[in-house]
Amino acid sequence: MKKQFFIFICILLSALSSYAQFYAKNKQSADLGIFLGGSYYIGDLNQTKQFLFTKPAAGVLFRYNQNPRLAYRIAILFGSVEGHDSYSQNPYQKQRNLSFKSTINEVSAALEFNFNNYRIGIEKEKFSPYIFFGIGVFAFNPKGQLANGNWVDLQPLRTEGEGMEGGSKKKPYNLIQVCLPFGLGFKTNIARKLGLGVEWGMRKTFTDYLDDVSGKYYAPYKLNGLTAAYLSDPSKGTDPNYSNVGSARGNPTNKDWYSFVGIILSFKLGSSKEKCPTVE
């Protein structure tokens, strides 16, 4: 599945290159952007703290500006997210002692709305706050940390018995999912054909397994091996006479979220000169 995802990205990049050449040749309003910033997640291991464990992120964008207020864009973003119960102030989370990290590779299409007229290279329309919303597809792969510090893929371990009798799901969760990106930002001109934007965007997902935590504890002896048993329940200070099996490991009613935040350096394609009005 990863192979198909990256083939799709290569095809999309080729298409973006063709579009860029077309718009540059015909002097229409379009720009290419480079995104640099960070990514983080909100979910069972970090329920409320924005920007916690922010990791480096980067990407590219192609934007077609239909007019000074409305733009369409395609973005390819790469980042990573992580979470650790050990950093929580909640005693239950500290005792649960789960942790994860995952790469995030996203392809999305979105609509941008500028609150002011904005065009790169036009002095009278040189800045604007904006909002955006769209739809995307992202690939992820949560990993868990063993006691020796090594990280291993969690989805194949089925830590909550996914696809097994009495498990939290009828089959293992998919590592490619749909998301809904939305957010806000501010953009301004910094040179004749160069714009700079600052953007913060959230992603609503439809999976609760970005962190491999969702349902109930599964019987460790039914899992495949000691690694799966340990990562399913690495809790600290548990009474040896008490079993977590069947009790809540996560909250399946709240889906996971992730975010990209950073700057976008945009290069205008084609002419940056303002056209003179036609005299009839």
Cα–Cα distances in angstroms (integers) from residue 53 to residues 83, 165, 246, in the given order: 7, 35, 30
DSSP E strands in the chain: the ranges are 30-42, 55-65, 70-84, 99-114, 127-140, 143-145, 151-153, 176-191, 194-205, 257-269
Q: Is residue 276 part of a domain?
A: no
pLDDT in tens, the chain (280 residues): 445 555 655 665 565 555 545 544 444 579 999 999 999 999 999 999 999 999 999 999 999 999 999 999 999 999 999 999 999 999 999 999 999 999 999 999 999 999 999 999 899 999 999 999 999 999 999 999 998 889 999 999 999 999 999 888 889 999 999 999 999 999 999 999 999 999 999 999 999 999 999 999 999 999 999 999 999 999 876 666 678 899 999 999 999 999 999 999 999 987 544 544 444 4
Domain that holds residue 178: 2-269
* DSSP code at position 245: T
Q: How many domains does the chain have?
A: 1
Q: Is residue 118 part of a domain?
A: yes
- Asked if 109 contacts 87 with a C-beta cutoff of 8 angstroms, the reply is no
Q: pTM (2 decimals)?
A: 0.85
CATH number of the CATH domain containing 20: 2.40.160.20
Q: Is residue 153 part of a domain?
A: yes
Q: Is residue 280 part of a domain?
A: no
Q: Is residue 279 part of a domain?
A: no
Tens of pLDDT, residue by residue over 115-145, are 999 999 899 999 999 999 999 999 999 999 9
